[in-house]
Amino acid sequence: MGVGIVVRGLNAWYGKNLALKSIDMTVAANHVTAVIGPSGCGKSTFVRCLNRMHETVPEARAEGLVKVGEMEVYGDGTDPVEIRRRIGMVFQKPNPFPTMSIYDNVAAGLRLNGFRNRKQVDELVERSLKLSALWDEVKDTLHKKSGASLSGGQQQRLCIARSLAVEPEVLLMDEPASALDPISTSKIEELIFQLKQHYTVVIVTHNMQQAARVAEFTGFFLMGSLIEYDKTEKIFTTPADKRTEDYITGRFG
């Protein structure tokens, strides 16, 4: 089951450059929350702070309160590796491990974390590929084909399966469909809709129609600040802030 996320006073820097300014946001469990905004507004940085991927960039740091379920993401003695295990991430560009088979890609997170039971790995791989709606397309070539040999849309679903295999509680998606064609995109969107039964999903998107289609809640970021955060319907029909209105009506961004 998914868990909720509470963010209070989150600041993030790249070197001396303040990229996120005191973000407060509460993400509901088992729902899809979209994060929208123009390029460079900090939306990717925001989700990367949630699983401490932000700090893997040289000179990047973040501070503030982030609670995922009962877990203090930036608490003293919290291990970022453990955080990332429980909060899965799907990236903008499909990034399967190029030299691994389809099966090994999905199993990688389990095996490299010391999970050795072969039968259970088999089961988790199958379950994850079914959840990400890729199973029927790859079940005959699991061990024969490399993950990199799949089409872009299939690769992205493979990456989703890979994240799901380690059984996270939250799934972060950083523009997961922006490199894909419309058909692959709609498959990913359907998939996101299914996934919220089991996971809390936070999705960054450039595409406002996509946010409107998949998310119950939407947050609008601008220049490192969260301008408005509400039910998706409200954001797209009667936004409270002028800047939100300007953005969604296409006046800038």
Q: Is position 127 an interface residue for another protein (rule: CB under 8 A)?
A: no
Q: Is position 199 an interface residue for another protein (rule: CB under 8 A)?
A: no
Shortest distance, CB of residue 146 to another protein, whole angstroms? 4
101/147 Cα distance (integer angstroms): 5
SS3 per residue for 110-144: HHCCCCCCHHHHHHHHHHHHHHCCCHHHHCCCCCC
Q: Is position 192 an interface residue for another protein (rule: CB under 8 A)?
A: no
Q: Is position 183 an interface residue for another protein (rule: CB under 8 A)?
A: no
Part of the chain binding another protein (CB under 8 A), chosen from 22-30, 142-150, 192-200, 206-214: 142-150
Shortest distance, CB of residue 219 to another protein, whole angstroms? 21
Q: Which is nearer to another protein, 95 or 207 (CB)?
A: 95
Part of the chain binding another protein (CB under 8 A), chosen from 9-17, 19-27, 159-167, 213-221: 159-167
Contacts (CB under 8 A) with another protein, residues 208-237? none
124/119 Cα distance (integer angstroms): 9
The residue with tokens 């399966």 is 161
State both tokens at 100: 């691994």
Q: Is position 145 an interface residue for another protein (rule: CB under 8 A)?
A: yes
CA 29 to chain centre: 14
Q: Which is nearer to another protein, 113 or 209 (CB)?
A: 113
64/92 Cα distance (integer angstroms): 26
State both tokens at 223: 């220049």
Contacts of 77 (CB under 8 A, 6+ apart): none
Instruction: Sheet containing 200-204: give its strands across.
Output: 87-90, 170-174, 200-204, 32-36, 217-222, 225-231
Interface characters, 44-83, with another protein (x: CB under 8 A): -------x-x--x-x----------------------xxx
Q: Which is nearer to another protein, 61 or 93 (CB)?
A: 93
Contacts of 17 (CB under 8 A, 6+ apart): none
Residues contributing to the site for another protein (CB under 8 A): 51, 53, 56, 58, 81-86, 88-89, 91, 93, 95-101, 108-109, 112-113, 141, 144-146, 148-150, 159, 162-163, 166
